[in-house]
Structure 1
Amino acid sequence: MGFLTMAGGDVDLTEIRSVYARQMAAASGSSDPRLEQAFAEVPREDFVGPGPWLIMGLTAALAGERYVRTLDADPAHLYQNALVALDAEKGINNGEPSLHAAWIGAVAPKPGEAVSHVGAGTGYYSAILSRLVLPGGSVHAFEIEPELAEKARRNLLPYPGVTVVTGDAVTLPLPASDIIYVNAGVVAPPAAWLHALKPGGRLIFPWRPSEKVALSVLVTRRQAGFALEPLMPSWFIPCVGASFAGRKAKLPDRAGAQRTRSIWRAADKPPDETATAIIGDVWFSSERLAE
């Protein structure tokens, strides 16, 4: 157990993590106690490099800056609801914890499940997901930036069942997955991602079909198709290979995106009058699927 010397006196880092984890559990909307435990036990400082750190959050916003630099390398700075720069020039961050907590609550990982994590960065949220699918589960962490992937590979060595893949998850085959967890903005998920979902599988991703739409959505594979639930606004860096719509695409406005309730592979079902968006080989529909 480590102790930190801070302005308010000696503070127990374990207690700081515990408070942070309780806040993330509340943000998740989940009743699974393992989620709070995972946020408490996975050290964020192991995944963001040595401090001081560049942090994006309320403090930066109030200062009118994109990032603010922490005064020192005290890990306590990391246990707040703020993004931490991994590559500030490219805009790559360790993402906002409360958003990820809400996403993890939405996909509800269970022991024994297989997760594909697209855009894993240096592995922090891969580590948390891995804790939630133990025993017997697995995480395939895809990262296209070689330097970040190598850091993730080192960082995730202590976490059983995790494999780091250096490469483009849009062109590489994803394994059959109970959960596909995407941390890069896409105009539409590749049809191959939908194909990789097991029955009952969940795909969560930031839908960014236009500058006016930035929406987290949860897709669930049902017997008759893929149900879609709009969640909350979200902004991520673009996903290489899946961030541009073709000229023939039909793109939604905000209202159309919010009305969307299912997604289809065009090879399975051609677009019809319910289409809110048609992008490449998938299309989005206002049709609500049966449970």
Structure 2
Amino acid sequence: MDLEERRTALDGAMDARGYWPERSPWLRETVAALPRDGFAPDRLWQWNGRAYVAVDRSTDPGGWADALYAGVDEPAVTQVTGGLASSSISAPGVVVDMLDSLLPEPGHRVWDIGGGQGWNAALAAWRAGPGRVVSTEIDPDLAGFARRRLAAAGLQVEVVTGNATTAVFRERFDRVIATYARERVPWTWVEATAPGGRIVYPWGRLGHLALTVADDGRSASGWVQGMAQFMADRTAPAPPTAGWAGYSAVRGDGPAAAERRTDRDLAPLEGDWGLRFALRVAVPDAMITTGRDEEGVNAWIHDGRSSWASFSAVGDGTTVLHQGGRRRIGDELMTAWTAWEDLGRPEPYDYGVTVTPDRQWVWLHTPDSEPRWPIHEAAAAASR
């Protein structure tokens, strides 16, 4: 299958999944005009279960194309640093969803944050027009690559090498879109956005939002738009290590400080994203890993610093909770789970975020309603 066939297959898969948004028909046309292979480096990286391995276009063109067009929900890793993925071309479905949430119009001034290889900026520029998009990228090599590919595509996009958190511009933007995860929105982003403008960004480990800046410019507020996961902010503290490795590092080999039995069925933790999102809101630093055996679903939780919990299925519908560290993070999750049920099991799209100069919080149903959950800057991950 050549690249043209893969582009056609991707278009059809997006259509079959309902991923082409009706209110933004320009997106389908633009993706066809500016396919992702025009912004992909000649070396991509794939996870083999143990480590990332290189896939080079020169020696394995089919494998390279397979990695780039793996599916509508699959990103293509373009950079690995210290054994971890540090940049990617985002999944096509996510790119389209976020640009649809952004609602750019011809003539809008757009700030693309975390430009990477330039594909997102290219799509925005096709819509906004020549000279209307500024893309910021902290990695000078990636910024240089994006400049070359954008120029080759005939697009007039300004690519700035630098830290978007501290960037200052003479003119405000109508639209701001970030492609890496932030726990808190830098206030400089709000200041850079005109009143009535929109800011679309990935929130922490799960979900992306669209905020509208108030008429007085002193706040921004908006709803959850999707459930994608993104690369972390390179300038923020390192996030906790996920999975068994992260749990083991925090757990250590000492005895548990507390043990009790609970009749909570943990099966929803495997696939109920409404629950997972609610727990992410209420206990934002909890890293949750699940696994199933003949007794049922088990879970391992840690906060990346000092506290941990394990839920071990017994086989009779109950689980045994062990926990230790400075806090009882297992109890916190159970309390948050019960609170979510008491609230009527709201979906992720029932939540929103408000940002002001001195505080940020998550709300449910309306910006002025209760309960509210404060958003704090993520703490650096550390072992016990």
Give the TM bin, normalised by the shorter chain.
0.7 to 0.9
Larger radius of gyration: 2
In structure 1, list runs of 5 or more residues that go unmatched. 1-5, 246-251, 281-291
* 3-state SS, counterpart of residue 214 of structure 1: coil
Equivalences for residues 68-217 of structure 1 within 5 A: 69=55, 72-74=60-62, 76-77=65-66, 78-81=68-71, 82-89=74-81, 90-91=84-85, 92-134=87-129, 138-157=132-151, 158-174=153-169, 175-208=171-204, 214-217=206-209
How far residue 260 of structure 1 moved from its aligned partner, in angstroms, is 4.5
Q: 1:283 maps to which residue?
A: none
For residues 107 and 237 of structure 2, the distance between their equivalents in structure 1, rounded to whole angstroms, comes to 32
- The one-letter code matched in structure 2 to 1:215 is G
Residue 221 (structure 2) pairs with residue 227 (structure 1): yes
- The one-letter code matched in structure 2 to 1:102 is D
Checking the alignment, whether the CA contact within 8 Å between 2:150 and 2:156 is kept in structure 1 is no
For residues 183 and 141 of structure 2, the distance between their equivalents in structure 1, rounded to whole angstroms, comes to 26
Residue 114 (structure 2) pairs with residue 17 (structure 1): no
For residues 168 and 95 of structure 2, the distance between their equivalents in structure 1, rounded to whole angstroms, comes to 24
Q: 2:280 maps to which residue?
A: 254
- TM-aligned CA distance change 1:229 to 1:83, over 3 Å: same
Number of residue equivalences: 253
How far residue 76 of structure 1 moved from its aligned partner, in angstroms, is 4.7
Using the TM superposition, name which of 15-24 and 68-77 deviates more.
68-77
* 3-state SS, counterpart of residue 60 of structure 2: coil
How far residue 180 of structure 1 moved from its aligned partner, in angstroms, is 1.0
Residue 359 (structure 2) pairs with residue 276 (structure 1): no
- TM-aligned CA distance change 1:132 to 1:27, over 3 Å: same
- The one-letter code matched in structure 1 to 2:196 is G
How far residue 255 of structure 1 moved from its aligned partner, in angstroms, is 4.5
What is the CA RMSD across the aligned residues, in angstroms? 3.3
For residues 116 and 159 of structure 1, the distance between their equivalents in structure 2, rounded to whole angstroms, comes to 19
How far residue 242 of structure 1 moved from its aligned partner, in angstroms, is 4.6
Equivalences for residues 2-81 of structure 1 within 5 A: 6=1, 13-24=3-14, 26-50=18-42, 53-55=44-46, 69=55, 72-74=60-62, 76-77=65-66, 78-81=68-71
Checking the alignment, whether the CA contact within 8 Å between 1:180 and 1:204 is kept in structure 2 is yes
**With structure 2 as the length reference, what TM-score do the two structures score?**
0.57
* 3-state SS, counterpart of residue 207 of structure 2: strand
* 3-state SS, counterpart of residue 219 of structure 1: strand
* 1:173-217 Cα shifts (integer Å, max 9, x gaps): 155112111111112111111111122211111111xxxx52211
How far residue 50 of structure 1 moved from its aligned partner, in angstroms, is 1.8
Checking the alignment, whether the CA contact within 8 Å between 2:179 and 2:202 is kept in structure 1 is yes
**With structure 1 as the length reference, what TM-score do the two structures score?**
0.73
Q: 2:343 maps to which residue?
A: none
For residues 187 and 10 of structure 2, the distance between their equivalents in structure 1, rounded to whole angstroms, comes to 37
Checking the alignment, whether the CA contact within 8 Å between 1:215 and 1:233 is kept in structure 2 is yes
Percent identity, aligned pairs only, is 23
* 3-state SS, counterpart of residue 236 of structure 1: coil
In structure 2, list runs of 5 or more residues that go unmatched. 240-277, 285-347, 363-367, 378-384
How far residue 230 of structure 1 moved from its aligned partner, in angstroms, is 1.1
Checking the alignment, whether the CA contact within 8 Å between 1:117 and 1:142 is kept in structure 2 is yes
